[in-house]
Chain A
Amino acid sequence: MGALRAEKIRFQLIGMSAAVLQGVPVVTHDVDLWIDLPARQYMRAVNLALRHGAKMVRKTVVELSDGMLVNFIYEVTGLGGFSAELKKARKLKFHGCRIPVMPLESIRRSKAMVMRPKDEAHIHYIEQTLRLLRRSAK
């Protein structure tokens, strides 16, 4: 993530990895990074990761040296554009960096638009977490 910043490539953490960082008690095996580049430039982010010791797993998925899988994403269904969503992002400390993380409400909205079989369970846990966050803030 520091390397993306150094290259001035904007990104934000999205998907269930972003949900986990905000307290949703689920597990996910990869980190989804929404990259502010056109999809045809997907190799820029991959090449950057490879230069930092990552291994390519699939077209947009790399494995970092600690085993973390990173999925580079260029379009997100059901939400506004990258810049609009970035303004709403929460800044959280993760692996020593303060990074933009998509809020739970936006993750829920995107999943509700896509609605794959697993999204129903994810939405349930996101909604429970939002409810409990409101409760524990009192």
Chain B
Amino acid sequence: MKTSLKDWPKVYQKIKRVRGLDEHEKILFARSLAATPDERWRMNETFLRSFGLWGRSALKKFVSN
């Protein structure tokens, strides 16, 4: 099934009975699984930018690579 980020509730319906994950994790996985590769990368980039960790400056802040 081809989905995009807006379809995450459909994916959530499929995984909501999975054991071993709390609600926050299920929503996190549902969003990530529903998204297209470009949307997934945009979420990654947006998250890092929100902490000032995008680009070369990130290397100074991370101990390991």
Count of interface residues, chain A, beta-carbon cutoff 8 Å: 36
A39 to B64, CA, bound (A): 22
Contact with A20, one of B11, B29, B41, B64 (Cβ below 8 angstroms)? B41
Question: B38 near A: Cβ within 8 Å?
Answer: yes
Count of interface residues, chain B, beta-carbon cutoff 8 Å: 30
What residues of A have a CB within 8 angstroms of the CB of B64 in the complex? 116, 118
- Whether B54 contacts A23 by the Cβ 8 Å rule is no
A24 to B40, CA, bound (A): 9
Q: Which of A1-60 contact B (CB under 8 A)?
A: 17, 20-25, 27-30, 55, 57-58
A25 to B47, CA, bound (A): 11
- Whether A23 contacts B48 by the Cβ 8 Å rule is no
- Whether B35 contacts A23 by the Cβ 8 Å rule is yes
- Whether A67 contacts B55 by the Cβ 8 Å rule is yes
A58 to B65, CA, bound (A): 12
> Helix, strand, loop or mixed for chain A's interface?
mixed
What residues of A have a CB within 8 angstroms of the CB of B44 in the complex? 20, 27-28
Shortest B41–chain A CB gap in Å is 6
B contact residues vs A (CB 8 Å cutoff): 1, 11, 14-15, 18, 21, 28-29, 31-33, 35-38, 40-41, 44-45, 47-48, 53-56, 58-59, 62, 64-65
| Pairs A-B, 10 closest by C-beta atoms | A67-B55, A25-B32, A29-B58, A21-B37, A136-B14, A23-B33, A92-B37, A25-B28, A23-B32, A63-B56
Q: A55-B56, A68-B55 are in contact. List 12 more A-B contacts (CB 8 A).
A: A17-B41, A21-B40, A23-B32, A29-B54, A29-B58, A69-B59, A95-B41, A101-B37, A132-B15, A132-B29, A136-B15, A136-B33
